[in-house]
């Protein structure tokens, strides 16, 4: 992506859309596993209880959340592949950063501080929900603070009308 320095392009144009797409596919293809592994203490039960069915409400939430992941992947991909405006990229990254804060905050609320801060108790889903989301938030903050920015990524004044 021409508007982003290489590192940020790799993170926001390649890694993030692929990781959110992976989350969507997990929710669509294995809603039982997707729901069960949200609680790291239940991860060991996923295979043993595969024959069980989810309540319709849980199935609906899993599929809808998967659709939200797919939507995030598509919005980021389409915007970052089509815009040449730094303001648009910054606005997108601010919105995603606020979403990151909400997502990690929700994980803290649901998991409780003991599990949230004890990485040894995490499963792969928790690592994605907390660890990867936090790393993406750090990258967004770094970009928004113009760390590692070059001339493409700096905030510029609007051109004056002639």
SS (H, E, C) 75-127: HHHHHHHHCCCHHHHHHHHHHHHHHHHHHHHHHHHHHHHHHHHCHHHCCHHHH
> What is the rounded CA–CA span in Å between residue 93 and residue 160?
26
Q: What's the pLDDT at 54? A: 79
pLDDT digits (tens, 9 = 90+) for 112-135: 999 999 999 999 999 999 999 999
pLDDT of 38 higher than 70: yes
Does 74 or 50 have the greater pLDDT score? 74
Q: What's the pLDDT at 157? A: 42
Average pLDDT of every residue of the chain: 88
What value does the mean pLDDT take over residues 13-33?
94
What value does the mean pLDDT take over residues 4-30?
95
> What is the rounded CA–CA span in Å between residue 162 and residue 140?
35
């Amino acid at each position: 992506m021409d508007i982003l320095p290489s590192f940020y392009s790799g993170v926001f144009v390649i890694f993030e859309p692929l990781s959110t797409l992976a989350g969507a596919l997990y929710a669509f293809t294995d809603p039982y596993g997707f729901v069960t592994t949200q609680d790291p203490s239940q991860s060991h039960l996923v295979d043993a209880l595969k024959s069980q069915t989810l309540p319709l409400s849980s199935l609906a939430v899993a599929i809808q959340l998967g659709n939200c992941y797919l939507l995030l992947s598509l919005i980021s991909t389409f915007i970052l592949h089509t815009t040449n405006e730094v303001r648009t990229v910054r606005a997108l990254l601010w919105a995603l950063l606020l979403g990151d804060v909400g997502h990690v905050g929700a994980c803290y609320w649901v998991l409780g501080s003991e599990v949230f801060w004890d990485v040894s108790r995490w499963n792969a889903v928790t690592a994605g929900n907390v660890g990867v989301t936090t790393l993406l938030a750090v990258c967004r903050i770094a970009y928004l603070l113009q760390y590692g920015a070059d001339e493409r990524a700096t905030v510029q004044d609007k051109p004056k009308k002639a």
